[in-house]
Structure 1
Amino acid sequence: MEVTFLGTSSGVPTRSRNVSSVALRLTQRGEIWLFDCGEGTQHQILRSDLKTSQLKKIFVTHMHGDHIFGLMGLLASCGLGAHAENVEVYGPPGLDAYLKACMKYSQTYFPYGVHFKTVSPGVIYEDDEYIVSTEMLKHRVTAFGYRVSEKDKAGKFDVEKAKKLGIPSGPIYGKLKKGETITLDDGRTINGSQLCGPTEIGRKFVYCTDTVFCESAIALSEDADVLIHEATFAHQDAQMAFERMHSTTTMAAQVALAAQVKKLIMTHFSPRYAPGNALQLNDLLKEAQAIFPETILAHDFLSYEIPRRI
């Protein structure tokens, strides 16, 4: 699981930062899951090493323009030579109507499947490897945070040990690899877990933006390997943050601390902290690290490989 930031500014793009979008690359599956799609996201993808042909799912947090204005353009381009296949688009109520209106008035037709799914709190997707769940955040409009949980995997199967025990190869090995207990023809009972290495604990990715501090963000982020959380404002601008229903650096850090996450990556920064201003992003980083040391700042095209737990 690798995270690539395609936009890390809030509200409007700047010369160095585009508006919100984060790609989660599931390398073993050759898939890309996109979280938010601000204006210009497809241009950012072209500047990265991501491939739109691998795009399978898009998760939208809320209906503000800096999170959705790039969506229609990206989906349209995927139908013009990007070799996209079925793409699922998840988001709040109104997202499907918005996209269908864009299709109607621009006379755009997708030559591949685009499936709209309106989300509500709870599990919204599950397969053999991943579970995606969501919780409502606290913003000026309906907004959701997303959690992607990789399922635990059985440890590596010791083939040589199985052979020494005289276990015949075939379908039995498949059952033992899953940790099942089987009975051999000679009456011996073999517990598959004894032939497998330590269980690989699944990784957990959480994306929370836009929101002011709220308990649901903590619940969603519990024990995450990486939490991506908006930090639009510095602590001294907390009053502005409450008025606009955004987070400060200290709010993001408090969520990470309470949820006991492994790494906090802050994003969605106000342009007011650009170089040359009295307060800059390094100052925001110090504020968060004073509460939660394992904090870093996102920047456009930052890639972060989510490590496996040892």
Structure 2
Amino acid sequence: MYKYFMSFLLKNNRASVVYLYNCPEGSQHLLNKLIKHSQVSTIIITNLSINNIAGFFGLLSTFSLNSREQGLTIYGPPGVLQYIQFIRKYSHTTFRYVLSVYIVKSSSIYLNVSMYLFSYLINQQELNIVIVEREMIGRFKIAKARGFQLLQGPLYKRLKKHYKFILPDGSIVFGKYFTDHYYTGIKLLCLFHLHSYRSCIELKWSLRETIISG
């Protein structure tokens, strides 16, 4: 079976953090062009093939040389912790930041208040990944609220949450009419074996918004 690899950055503007998906050769050059190293909070490794991790340890070492202080989280398949320990031992590298390594199989992971990650272990060594952003209420229509002469304050907050109220004149105000349509959020499905496993096919049909396959 052919081995595929992919790598990309996923930036969460709400949390001002970046998630790095795999770390091939040249990852540092890409990061230097697009973002600050300090923005990378999480690295997701899907398998331990050389194509996926050629730039992994070099990036970890660069973070340490740059006096990084905030912690870094690593999610990966079985074997990723042993790989880090082995390379660290023989390169005599010391990390100056807290490195949290999680071995994931088939599980759900809370990334932040608006984003979850679902992992599915294939062949006990590769991860298929689903990244799901939670649905968000649309932007509040402040001009419309002012047009109805509704006073700004706690009332606006409740209207945005789609509460309904009876005004002093007896009219009923429905909060759902004072916001834009719901933002459904992204659903990003990253598969390496699109046609070989039942779980991949089920994921493909259940999450059709955005699919990246190797």
By the TM > 0.5 criterion, same fold? yes
C-alpha deviations, 1:218-276, integer Å up to 9, x for none? 2333334321111xxxxxxxxxxxxxxxxxxxxxxxxxxxxxxxxxxxxxxxxxxxxxx
How many Å separate the matches in 2 of 1:101 and 1:182? 63
How many Å separate the matches in 2 of 1:90 and 1:71? 12
Residues 143 and 210 of structure 1 are in contact (CA less than 8 Å); yes or no, is this contact kept in structure 2? no
How many Å separate the matches in 2 of 1:181 and 1:147? 36
**Does 2:66 match 1:81?**
yes
User: Which of 59, 77, 86 is equivalent to 1:92?
Assistant: 77
Deviation at 1:207, TM superposition (A): 1.4
Instruction: Indicate how the Cα distance of structure 1 residues 109 and 174 shifts in structure 2: closer, same or farther if over 3 A, else same.
Output: farther
Q: Secondary structure at the match of 1:179?
A: coil
Could you list the runs of 5+ residues in structure 2 that have no partner in the other structure?
Answer: none
How many Å separate the matches in 2 of 1:26 and 1:120? 24
How many Å separate the matches in 1 of 2:60 and 2:71? 11
Deviation at 1:74, TM superposition (A): 0.6
How do 1:1-310 residues align onto structure 2 when only pairs under 5 Å count?
Answer: 20-46=6-32, 48-81=33-66, 83=68, 85-137=70-122, 139=123, 141-181=124-164, 190-209=173-192, 213-221=196-204, 222-230=206-214
C-alpha deviations, 1:5-61, integer Å up to 9, x for none? xxxxx67xxxxxxx6422223345432211111234223434x42332211111111
How many Å separate the matches in 2 of 1:150 and 1:178? 19
Could you list the runs of 5+ residues in structure 1 that have no partner in the other structure?
Answer: 1-9, 12-18, 231-310
Instruction: Indicate how the Cα distance of structure 1 residues 210 and 110 shifts in structure 2: closer, same or farther if over 3 A, else same.
Output: farther
Higher strand share: 2
Which has the bigger relative contact order, CA under 8 A and spacing at least 6? 1
Percent identity of paired positions between Structure 1 and Structure 2? 26
Number of aligned residues: 212
Residues 39 and 66 of structure 1 are in contact (CA less than 8 Å); yes or no, is this contact kept in structure 2? yes
How many Å separate the matches in 2 of 1:51 and 1:210? 33
Residues 154 and 179 of structure 1 are in contact (CA less than 8 Å); yes or no, is this contact kept in structure 2? no
Instruction: Indicate how the Cα distance of structure 1 residues 75 and 166 shifts in structure 2: closer, same or farther if over 3 A, else same.
Output: same
Deviation at 1:201, TM superposition (A): 1.6
TM-score, normalization: structure 2?
A: 0.83
